Amino acid sequence: MTASSRHDPSPTRANRPTANQARARLLRMHFEAGVGHIGGNLSALDAMLHLHGEVMGEHDLFVLSKGHSAGALYITLWAQGLINDEDLTSFHKDNTTLSGHPVAHWHKGIAFATGSLGHGLGLASGAALGKRLRGESGDVFCLLSDGECEEGSTWEALLFAHHQKLANLVALVDANGLQGFGTTSEVASLEPIADKFRGIGLTVLEIDGHSPAALTQALARRGDGPLIIVLRTVKGRGVSFMEGRMEWHYLPLKPEQYEQALRELGQ
């Protein structure tokens, strides 16, 4: 039985979970599954919640290129009432549809299997071009990591999107400054990354990636080509001992850490 066959009624805007409630539910899901990749989930969660809750319509498409943040996507779908608590308990378990990286098509909100970094923006660009060729309405939103921008395939996709003037494409870069083996500046620095994007003619904005208001304002700056939004975020956002720490790219939570994190989130 899939989530799409038994989801809770969609919550109204007034009774959707708060950002901290969503963070706490994400931590519970990861804690119960005993898995990591928590830091990058927390850096991306605010943007995902806002996109799905306040921006995207039924004809829009979301592509999670940084597939290791699948937990944040599942919590976002949960926050919209599109999957339920029972679904979340299957996260990372045998025979689950909520795997550690997204599985395509088990839910209408997940169009592609992602997680092999550097592929998501190419998929999103192709989907955006397909919408235009078919005369379909709706935008395509793609969330990447800053470390993933070191991949050559990401730049091929950017060149393609710019050349095709894909005005229905928005790429959001979760720039938390950390990746699997250190800081992005230590591994292969692209900073100032916004200038690199502008260098090929793209429209680029840099914002506080944890501010819904800033994201709304940035999305209003649409032009005749793709829009790139650099989200300046904090890895492990909201949990003091995780914030800005590379190890939370990997580590699962210990019981005492989980309890401390919930206290800090007021849950």
Per-residue model confidence (pLDDT) at position 209: 98
Pairing of strands 227-232, 169-175: parallel
- pTM of the entire predicted model: 0.93
**What is the residue extent of each domain of the chain?**
17-264
| Residue-wise pLDDT tens digits, 154-168 | 999 999 999 999 999
Mean pLDDT of the chain: 93
The two most distant CA atoms of the chain are separated, in Å, by 53
Per-residue model confidence (pLDDT) at position 4: 37
| Residue-wise pLDDT tens digits, 90-116 | 999 999 999 999 999 998 889 999 988
| Residue-wise pLDDT tens digits, 34-71 | 999 999 999 999 999 999 999 999 999 999 999 999 99
Residue 145's H or E segment, with its range, is strand 140-145
Fold held by 17-264: Rossmann fold (3.40.50)
| Residue-wise pLDDT tens digits, 151-205 | 999 999 999 999 999 999 999 999 999 988 889 999 999 999 999 999 999 999 9
- Which band of pLDDT confidence, cut at 50, 70 and 90, is reported for residue 11? low
Backbone angle region of 37, left / alpha / beta, with phi > 0 → left and psi within -120 to 50 → alpha: left
